[in-house]
Amino acid sequence: MSQFDDNPFAESAGVNPFNDPAVTQVTNSSIEPIDQYNPFPATSLASQTTPAPPPAYQPAVLPPSAEPSPQATATAAQANLLRQQEELERKAAELDRREQELKNQGPGKVNNWPPLPKSFPIKPCFYQDFSEEIPTEYQRVCKMMYYLWMFNIVALFLNMLACLALFTTSASNGVDFGLSILWLILFAPCSFLCWYRPVYKAFKTDSSFSFFFFFFVFFCQVVIFIIQSVGIPKWGNSGWIAAFSVIAGNKAVGAIMIIVAIIFTICAVVSVVLLKLVHGMYRRTGASFTKAQQEFSQGIFTNKTFQTAAAGAASSAAQGAFQGNN
């Protein structure tokens, strides 16, 4: 019965194939299985890796900022303030000097033209001083304009004498003598006020409006000089035509008229030359027609007479409108 008590399903030690020493030696060995085998072990790669060589050149380094330091900025600002202070002090000294000169001169400039005696009942009407009021580069031309004006007055006076001599030869020439007196009375003050004083003021103040006014009037004066030198009969001018028409009958009167014609011709030539000189200086001053318009507008609107008239007109218009509404 004993043989029936044994477990038929129990495995005998000698029958188990995995208990074979050859199999157990393989299963218990430290060799890693194929699925876990790593052909690149970390230790071997770390020990065999060659470090990369250093770069052959250093990377570009940005230059330091060009902004000045706070100390340099403060120093520059201080130097600028000192320079401005010196400029203000210089201008203040210049103003003090001019104020002192004005005090030394008295309450104001005294008119000195025309140069009349103090006992004369008529006093001078204008102040004129080339060295004080006219810049150095314009003084020569301005004086030449003044000499031309005086030479024109002499020509007009001699023209009156020549027409008087002509009038003595024939009573029919009284028209020329009368017109010669009219030209002397009319052109002497008008030429001074209409083209000499404007050019004097233009050189003095660099006024574009004065320059344009001078060019317009002086061009008319040049035309008058040419007409006077021509000497149209019965026009009151002892020019070339009138002189040659008289010299055949009266050589003395004809000679006087020829001298006057020469003077008128000189005035015409010199006036053309001076007109070109003044125009050249005008172009160098930077004056323009726009500036002349601005000066004219400012002069009109700042004129007290114009302001009073405008205020009166506005007041009258307002009163009329108010009364009309009532």
Domain match, 244 and 279 both = yes
Site of tokens 């009219």: 182
Count Cα atoms within 13 angstroms, Cβ side, for 64: 3
Domain match, 102 and 175 both = no
Instruction: Compute CA 66 distance to the chain's CA centroid, rounded to the nearest angstrom.
Output: 37
3-state secondary structure at position 126: strand
Residue 312 lies in a domain: no
* Residue 167 pLDDT exceeds 60: yes
Domain match, 249 and 112 both = no
- DSSP per-residue string spanning 145-172: HHHHHHHHHHHHHHHHHHHHHHHHH-GG
Token digits for 54?
């250093």
- Tell me the residue range of the domain where 113 lies: 89-127
pLDDT for the residue 160: 96
pLDDT for the residue 139: 93
* Residue 264 pLDDT exceeds 90: yes
Domain match, 164 and 98 both = no
Domain match, 252 and 179 both = yes
Domain match, 149 and 273 both = yes
Task: Band the pLDDT of 226: cuts 50, 70, 90.
Answer: very high
Domain match, 214 and 118 both = no
**Among 76, 111, 127, where does a domain finish?**
127
Lowest-confidence region among 68-77, 136-145, 225-234, 299-308? 299-308
pLDDT in tens, 75-116: 888 888 888 888 888 878 877 776 766 665 545 678 888 888
* Residue 223 pLDDT exceeds 80: yes
How many angstroms separate the CA atoms of 243 and 261, rounded?
8
Residue 252 lies in a domain: yes
3-state secondary structure at position 113: strand
pLDDT for the residue 6: 54
**Residue predicted with more confidence, 196 or 74:** 196
Q: Are 268 and 225 in contact (CB under 8 A)?
A: yes
Domain match, 144 and 225 both = yes
Query: Maximum CA pair distance of the chain?
Result: 203
**Among 97, 127, 157, where does a domain finish?**
127
Q: What is the arithmetic mean of pLDDT over 201-226?
A: 92
**Residue predicted with more confidence, 235 or 288:** 235
Domain match, 249 and 145 both = yes
**Among 127, 144, 174, where does a domain finish?**
127
How many Cβ atoms from other residues are within 10 Å of residue 321's Cβ?
10
Residue 35 lies in a domain: no
Task: Band the pLDDT of 248: cuts 50, 70, 90.
Answer: confident
Q: What is the arithmetic mean of pLDDT over 195-211?
A: 90
pLDDT for the residue 207: 83
* Residue 46 pLDDT exceeds 50: no
- DSSP per-residue string spanning 21-39: HHHHHHHTSSPPPGGG--S
Domain match, 147 and 288 both = yes
HEC assignment per residue over 67-87? CCCHHHHHHHHHHHHHHHHHH
How many angstroms separate the CA atoms of 187 and 154, rounded?
12
Instruction: Compute CA 56 distance to the chain's CA centroid, rounded to the nearest angstrom.
Output: 62
Domain match, 104 and 205 both = no
Into how many domains does the chain fold? Answer: 2
pTM of the model: 0.60
pLDDT in tens, 272-290: 999 999 999 888 876 655 6
**Residue predicted with more confidence, 247 or 37:** 247
How many angstroms separate the CA atoms of 8 and 5, rounded?
9
Domain match, 144 and 247 both = yes
What would you report as the CA-atom Rg of the chain, rounded to the nearest whole angstrom? Answer: 56
